Amino acid sequence: MTLAIILLAFFFRFNSLNWDQNLHLHPDERFLTMVGNAMKLPTNINQYFDQKTSLMNPTNIGYNFFVYGRFPLILTKYLAVVYNLDNYNDFTILGRQLSAFFDLLIIFFIIKTVGLLEKKLKLKSSIKYWAGFFYAIAVLPIQLSHFFAVDTFLNFFMFGSFYFALRKKNIFSAVFFGLALASKITALFILPLNLFIISLAYLQRPSRIGKYLLMIFIYLGISYFTLRLADPYLFQNSNIFNPTISKLFIENIKSLQNMTVKNMSNWFPPMVQWLNKNTTQHSLVNNIVFGLGIPYVILLITGILRVLLSFLRKRESIPIFAMLFWSLSFFAYQSIQVTPTLRYFIIIYPFLAIFASIGINYLINFKIKLKGKYLVYSKTYSYFFIFISILILLIWPLMFSSIYLNKNSRVEASEWIYKNLPNNSMVLGESWDDSLPMGVVNNYGKQFTSDQLPVFEPDTPEKWQKMNDLLMRADYYVLSSNRGWGSIMTVPEKYPKMTQFYKLLLSNNLQYKKIKEFNSFPKLKIKNWKLFEINDSWSDEGFTVYDHPQVLIYKNERHSSRTF
């Protein structure tokens, strides 16, 4: 059973990892790849730990602003050198392979975790396999496995640290926690849960409190030394007994916080999308509809209710209730943050898979008893429910995975532009977005002039003088994603003229008329027969803009009298 689940997860995660044909359409990947390529392996161990001279330290190779953990990048760099993959294209693909690999491995921890709870809570043995299945089909982890970022590394080491704490293997838990911190500083969120689980073995007897405090000291010490080994550049100097965090790293975090202040005077483009959003509603809708899928969430809610009832009935359910309390607390905390991007929630997905497995197990074994006879429960009902549930649950991950089976919309649009637009045309794009056409194979020998509209700048007369000048001179205007219009139109009080411009443009009421549209919406097809398709362009920007954005191409119809 475990092998079948792993094979299913492998298909979803390793399906077309070069989904953008080496065009590097994910900005975080581009950044990490550039930093990784610029790194140089140290000649000795002392140089590796020396923050001031090591060329593994991003600061020493020209990248002063770095807010990620460095361990995923260090690991990828060493493997890239060993396997001769240390170049711009191969480095990214290797990073994606590692990202998918770590997200695959987490399924083993999930199955093992439920196995431990089975003994304590007397759960059915099938639940652990359901838990592995639910994580294997969760769409958010599937998508993040296709990106070379730190999210799946973080998730693996965080959940691994929890698993070992539950197993009472505290040294392993501490090592994994240190590696999680070396992947991203937000790993700190798992520490209270780990310490609580560890405390259950000590605090039941007052005489053991001293041993518990000693264990916490050892736990934190091992985590610290692991962090020093995996990410030595997080610290101010190479003195292993000096835990002072790098001043530059702290300044970078503060700078990032300053850029993400939620007020109308903030002109940082990535923040525009959040200025008028109800972040709690946004988090709920996007996790329910896109990250998990509605059928998945129904089973998840059922499982959560079962856990709550179990906790009210017996104390033995304390570990699983602690998991639930931590997961819901983190969701509540993250959903009220200024930028609750969907990918930030991945660290609770292993736990959600466990609760969903409890939910489906309850429904499979659902019984209604009247006058000593069961009216609902039977083996036939159970097998039928399992079969139908699996079919329904697989629909959304299969639909989402179709975006990797088909050509990326920006790649397809770039090929169409080379084939159909006249040579030497002027093609406009937008600032803070990837301009088209991109570097695909150009069999037509065509060249284009390009420029970018400053759409995110304040609506000043100077901006619009430049906008109108470019719009008058250009031949074509390409919206390569909804990054501009999807954000700006949500804050009309900040961008009154730009909002009106987009309304007219999207309704074909300007001199620029839409001539082509490229979509890669999640869909379910059998050969050429499309069964379902979901227009997810209204989702969290990070869910669509990298791997399946909507591309709109407009032509300047100069004979039109309607200008802006």
Cα–Cα distance measured from residue 206 to residue 193, given in angstroms and rounded to the nearest whole number: 21
Cα–Cα distance measured from residue 121 to residue 511, given in angstroms and rounded to the nearest whole number: 68
Average pLDDT over residues 520-548: 89
Q: Are 313 and 306 in contact (CB under 8 A)?
A: no
More confident residue, 555 or 443: 555
Is the pLDDT confidence value at 70 over 80? Answer: yes
DSSP-derived letter for residue 472 is H
Average pLDDT over residues 235-250: 91
Radius of gyration of the chain (CA): 26
**Mean of the per-residue pLDDT values of the chain:** 92
CA 71 to chain centroid, in Å, comes to 18
| Residue 559 confidence (pLDDT) | 60
pLDDT tier, 371 (very low <50, low <70, confident <90, very high otherwise): very low
In percent, the amount of the chain with pLDDT more than 70 equals: 95
Is the pLDDT confidence value at 127 over 80? Answer: yes
pTM of the model: 0.93
pLDDT tier, 475 (very low <50, low <70, confident <90, very high otherwise): very high
| Residue 124 confidence (pLDDT) | 80
pLDDT tier, 530 (very low <50, low <70, confident <90, very high otherwise): confident
At residue 476, the 3 state secondary structure works out as strand
Give me the helix-helix angle, 88-121 and 151-166, nearest 10°. 20
Element (H, E) at 516: strand 512-518
| Residue 369 confidence (pLDDT) | 46
User: What type of residue sits at position 359?
Assistant: G
User: Which residue ranges make up each domain of the chain?
Assistant: 2-402, 409-556
Tens of pLDDT along 544-564? 999 999 999 999 997 655 556
CA 74 to chain centroid, in Å, comes to 20
Is the pLDDT confidence value at 376 over 60? Answer: no
Tens of pLDDT along 487-508? 999 999 999 999 999 999 999 9
Name the nearest CA neighbour of 227 among 69, 66, 44.
69
Hey, how many other C-beta atoms are within 10 angstroms of the C-beta on 564? 15
pLDDT tier, 304 (very low <50, low <70, confident <90, very high otherwise): very high
Instruction: Give the number of C-alpha atoms closer than 13 A to the C-alpha of residue 262, restricted to the C-beta side.
Output: 12
pLDDT tier, 370 (very low <50, low <70, confident <90, very high otherwise): very low
